[in-house]
């Protein structure tokens, strides 16, 4: 059984914020299609946009388990938005299926 992350990081710059979560958590919960293209993917992590996608993840996480994660805040002068986005072609259903297995 998959163990969801218990410690997450909320990254904020002067313009916006994102919750950094493991991609595998998103895949296991099957919520990848509910995440907008305002969120980013980088390596093994997703950076979920604060206005909607963060709430989608936290709601799904609450439905999967009883314990709330600890969320630490990290403020940066600049958060790079030059990352792949949800919905980009390389993140096909096969990509998500591979993470689930």
Cα–Cα distance measured from residue 89 to residue 97, given in angstroms and rounded to the nearest whole number: 15
Q: Please name the residue ranges forming H helices in 1-101.
A: 23-29, 53-64, 93-100
10-61 confidence digits (pLDDT tens): 999 999 999 999 999 999 999 999 999 999 999 899 999 999 999 999 999 9
pTM comes to 0.91
Could you give the number of structural domains in the chain?
A: 1
Domain boundaries, position 19: 9-96
Q: How far is CA 66 from CA 11, 27, 53, 61, in A?
A: 24, 19, 20, 9
Residue 1 lies in a domain: no
Residue 48 lies in a domain: yes
């Amino acid at each position: 059984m998959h163990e969801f992350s218990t410690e997450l990081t909320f990254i904020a710059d002067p313009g916006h914020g994102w919750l950094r979560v493991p991609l595998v958590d998103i895949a296991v919960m099957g919520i990848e299609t509910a995440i907008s293209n305002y969120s980013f993917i980088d390596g093994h992590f997703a950076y979920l946009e604060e206005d909607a996608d963060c709430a989608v993840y936290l709601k799904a996480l609450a439905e999967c388990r009883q314990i709330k994660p600890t969320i630490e805040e990290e403020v940066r002068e600049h958060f790079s938005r030059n990352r792949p986005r949800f919905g980009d072609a390389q993140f096909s259903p096969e990509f998500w299926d591979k993470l689930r297995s």
